Amino acid sequence: MDFTKIKKYPSQISTVFKRFPLAVAFAIFTTIAFIYVYESGHSPTEYKFSHWLMIYPIAASMIALSVSLVQESRKKFSFLPHIIAGALWLAISIALVLYFPKNSNDIGRTYVGMTYLFIYTTAFLSIFVAPFFKQKDENGFWVFLMRNAKAAVVAIAISVVLLIAIDGLLFGFFNLFDIKVSARPFVYSAIISSCTIFPILFFSGIPSIGECLQEAPALNKFQTSTNKFIFLPVVSLYILLLYAYIAKIIIQWEMPKGMVSYLVSASMLLMLLRVTLMLPERINPKQSFESKLLKILPAACIPLVILMSVGIIRRISDYGISEDRYYITAINIFYYAIIAILLIDKIKCKSRFIAIVFCSMFLIATNGPLSAINVTHRIWMGSIKDALTELGYTNFPLSKDETAEFARRIQDKSDHKTNIATSRLEILNSRHDKELAQYIPKGDALILISRKSSTNEKVNEFLISAYINNSKNSYFEIPKNATQVNHFYKTFNKEDYKFQGDTLFFQFSPKKLDKTFRFFVTKQALESKDVRFLETEGAKIGVENLDLTLYKKEEKVKHNYFSIRGILFLE
């Protein structure tokens, strides 16, 4: 073990505060934000400030780190890029939080979630790609990537060991002195370890850009052995398996199955990882077996990506477009771009172009008129209009009588095209789509679908299913003996509730109290939607929203769901 490197750790950690002051500040802010959200007991999806605290600081830290590294690579420092980047992310984060819909089924949540994913992914990739954007080769990028991977492993190991040590100390202290505590101290230690200690340790291991540019890429024995005896056999087996499947398809003349996309994706990711890690072999002027194989691998993946394309075309032709199929199609196109970039020798900085193509496609697929959500929505609305037009309806929206007639007609006309349009209508209705009211009156679409799809088999599928949504005036009545009032949202674990006879029993433990309250509600009350209050000794719940789905079949029990949003009154 090299103890000289360990001795340098304290000085490296102290240097981090001077080298990346904003990134460290946001890491500390992340810790404070997460502790606040935990203490508030508010669901991030229900309270906008808690939501903002959960999503803003981590991305802000990555953006600040990326800007600092870019300035270090250019040997210039200015607060202006930090101010511009920080202000831009602050404005975007606030706008997304304000836009985030309250309804859990609203498609807007998916849009916001995908936008978050795009921003986080872009911010993360920029840490490694942006500092070397003007370089003519990948040498500095590769050295930086390898040394950061080592720094991340060391930081994770130290953080985990420290967390275990702190938790062990707390556990021993509380048990030795018979002190009863909640999970709060252990949650605090986990947040501090992951949000402050880990980032600072990782930042301390980030090499300087100048060092990476001066160092020549070279594989150590461990990397060489891992690539030769693990990556190469695994990638080869994946490719051979899919080639065998292609041969089967040609012989039996059948279309590929849906699972092909996952296997092709695994092959492509392993191939890309191997090509990236083996950069020293790629740039080595001496032609070895490994260097020749690295040139063949991307070309060998072309038939696999074509196979994936055929599978996607089949699924779209059978079932039409959807958000998921749009994303898979975009991924498939990205794989073609990866192969082209790897095969073109004139492109020296392949990682830079791959990152640019990836982020550009990610942006197009998640935002704007060509996004998955917008394209799918336009096609679905068009198919619903076509289904109505084919049955002779031309004046929109339909009246209630026309809607009922349409429901009867599509029930009789149970062809594949009509079933797809009906399924899309059901999904759009569940998302509370506003444009749907242009064709079907609001509220009647659900009746339409239930008349179309409810059979005795489906009705008997549930042990009980109830969705109750009360107005604020009906459930907000403060009892005379109430001393505490808390708004809450709780999704119950399976062990917290039980349906016995015709009654649902469940237990609820408030976050800040070391006490469990037991409630019950009858099946009759749930089915009649007459549940405004739930009472037990010492507590009362004013029910704003109750969502319950319990299945009969054993194989579907894992999909059971029970949640309550409301006001908890404590004596």
CA distances from 325 to 329, 330, 421, 480 (A): 6, 9, 17, 55
| Domain-ending residue, one of 454, 478, 499 | 454
Whether 206 contacts 155, CB under 8 Å: no
Confidence check: pLDDT of 105 > 80: no
Whether 293 contacts 286, CB under 8 Å: no
% of the chain beyond a pLDDT of 90: 48
What single DSSP character describes residue 495? G
The CB density around residue 90, as the number of other CB atoms within 10 Å, is: 13
How do 503-508 and 497-500 pair as beta strands? antiparallel
CA distances from 47 to 91, 431, 470, 490 (A): 18, 20, 19, 14
Range of the domain at 284: 221-334
Looking at the 3D structure of the chain, how many domains does it have?
4
Cα–Cα nearest to 204, from 71, 18, 9, 70: 9
User: Do 141 and 40 belong together in one domain?
Assistant: yes
The two structure tokens encoding residue 112: 């916001």
What is the rounded distance in angstroms from the CA atom of residue 487 to the CA atom of residue 40?
10
Task: Provide the mean pLDDT of the chain.
Answer: 87
Q: What is the pLDDT of residue 6?
A: 58
User: Do 173 and 286 belong together in one domain?
Assistant: no
What is the rounded distance in angstroms from the CA atom of residue 23 to the CA atom of residue 234?
38
pLDDT, tens only, 409-453? 777 776 777 778 888 887 887 777 888 888 887 654 455 555 455
Band of pLDDT at residue 222, cut at 50, 70 and 90: confident
Whether 337 contacts 357, CB under 8 Å: yes
Band of pLDDT at residue 404, cut at 50, 70 and 90: confident
User: Do 58 and 104 belong together in one domain?
Assistant: yes
User: Do 120 and 186 belong together in one domain?
Assistant: yes
Averaged pLDDT, 146-157: 95
User: Do 554 and 474 belong together in one domain?
Assistant: yes
Q: What is the pLDDT of residue 4?
A: 57
Which runs of consecutive H residues, i.e. helices, occur in 177-227?
184-192, 198-204, 209-214, 221-226
Q: Which of 70-74, 226-230, 409-413 has the lowest mean pLDDT?
A: 409-413
In what helix (H) or strand (E) does residue 292 lie, and over which residues does it extend? helix 289-300
Averaged pLDDT, 86-112: 90
The CB density around residue 153, as the number of other CB atoms within 10 Å, is: 12
**Helices and strands, counts by H and E, the chain:** 25, 8
Judged by phi (left if over 0) then psi (alpha if -120 to 50, else beta), residue 413 lies in beta
| Domain-ending residue, one of 214, 234, 256 | 214
Q: What is the pLDDT of residue 457?
A: 42
Q: Is 58 a member of any domain?
A: yes
| Domain-ending residue, one of 214, 242, 262 | 214
Cα end-to-end distance, the chain, whole Å:
61
Q: What is the pLDDT of residue 456?
A: 39
What is the rounded distance in angstroms from the CA atom of residue 470 to the CA atom of residue 162?
47
Q: Is 369 a member of any domain?
A: no
Whether 437 contacts 444, CB under 8 Å: no
pLDDT, tens only, 152-200? 999 999 999 999 999 999 999 988 888 888 888 999 999 999 999 999 9
Averaged pLDDT, 76-80: 90
Q: DSSP for 90-131, please give it.
A: HHHHHHHHHH--SSTT-HHHHHHHHHHHHHHHHHHHHHHHGG
Q: What is the pLDDT of residue 549?
A: 87
Confidence check: pLDDT of 339 > 60: yes
% of the chain beyond a pLDDT of 70: 93
Q: Is 227 a member of any domain?
A: yes
Whether 475 contacts 566, CB under 8 Å: yes
Give the 3-state secondary structure of residue 255: coil
Tally the residues of the chain: 571
The two structure tokens encoding residue 411: 């029930």
In what helix (H) or strand (E) does residue 485 lie, and over which residues does it extend? strand 484-491
User: Do 262 and 128 belong together in one domain?
Assistant: no
User: Do 26 and 151 belong together in one domain?
Assistant: yes
Q: Which residues contact 4 (CB under 8 A, 6 or more apart)?
A: none
Q: What is the pLDDT of residue 171?
A: 92
Cα–Cα nearest to 61, from 18, 20, 114: 20
Q: Which residue has the tokens 């007639």?
A: 405
Q: What is the pLDDT of residue 9?
A: 63
pLDDT, tens only, 16-32? 999 999 999 999 999 99
Burial class (CB in 10 A: 0-12, 13-18, 19+), 364: middle
Q: Is 353 a member of any domain?
A: no
Q: What is the pLDDT of residue 63?
A: 98
User: Do 326 and 471 belong together in one domain?
Assistant: no
User: Do 69 and 148 belong together in one domain?
Assistant: yes
Q: What is the pLDDT of residue 127?
A: 97
Band of pLDDT at residue 458, cut at 50, 70 and 90: very low
What pTM was computed for the model? 0.78
Q: Is 361 a member of any domain?
A: no
Q: DSSP for 354-403, please give it.
A: HHHHHHHHHHHHHSSTTSHHHHHHHHHHHHHHHHHHHTT--SSSPPHHHH
What is the rounded distance in angstroms from the CA atom of residue 35 to the CA atom of residue 452?
49
Q: Is 326 a member of any domain?
A: yes
Q: Which of 6-10, 319-323, 540-544 has the lowest mean pLDDT?
A: 6-10
pLDDT, tens only, 340-370? 999 998 898 999 999 999 999 999 999 999 9
Q: What is the pLDDT of residue 459?
A: 47
Q: What is the pLDDT of residue 454?
A: 47
Q: What is the pLDDT of residue 455?
A: 45
Q: What is the pLDDT of residue 209?
A: 95
User: Do 387 and 328 belong together in one domain?
Assistant: no
Handedness of CA 86, 91, 92, 97 (dihedral sign): positive
* Range ranked top by mean pLDDT from 232-246, 270-284, 297-311, 481-495: 297-311
Q: What is the CA radius of gyration of the chain?
A: 29
Q: What is the pLDDT of residue 427?
A: 82
User: Do 178 and 91 belong together in one domain?
Assistant: yes
Judged by phi (left if over 0) then psi (alpha if -120 to 50, else beta), residue 194 lies in alpha
What is the rounded distance in angstroms from the CA atom of residue 256 to the CA atom of residue 268?
18
Q: What is the pLDDT of residue 476?
A: 78
Q: What is the pLDDT of residue 225?
A: 84
Q: Is 422 a member of any domain?
A: yes
Q: What is the pLDDT of residue 258?
A: 64
Q: Is 306 a member of any domain?
A: yes
Whether 490 contacts 508, CB under 8 Å: yes
Burial 8-22 (b: 16+ CB within 10 A, else e): eeeebeeebeebbeb
User: Do 195 and 277 belong together in one domain?
Assistant: no
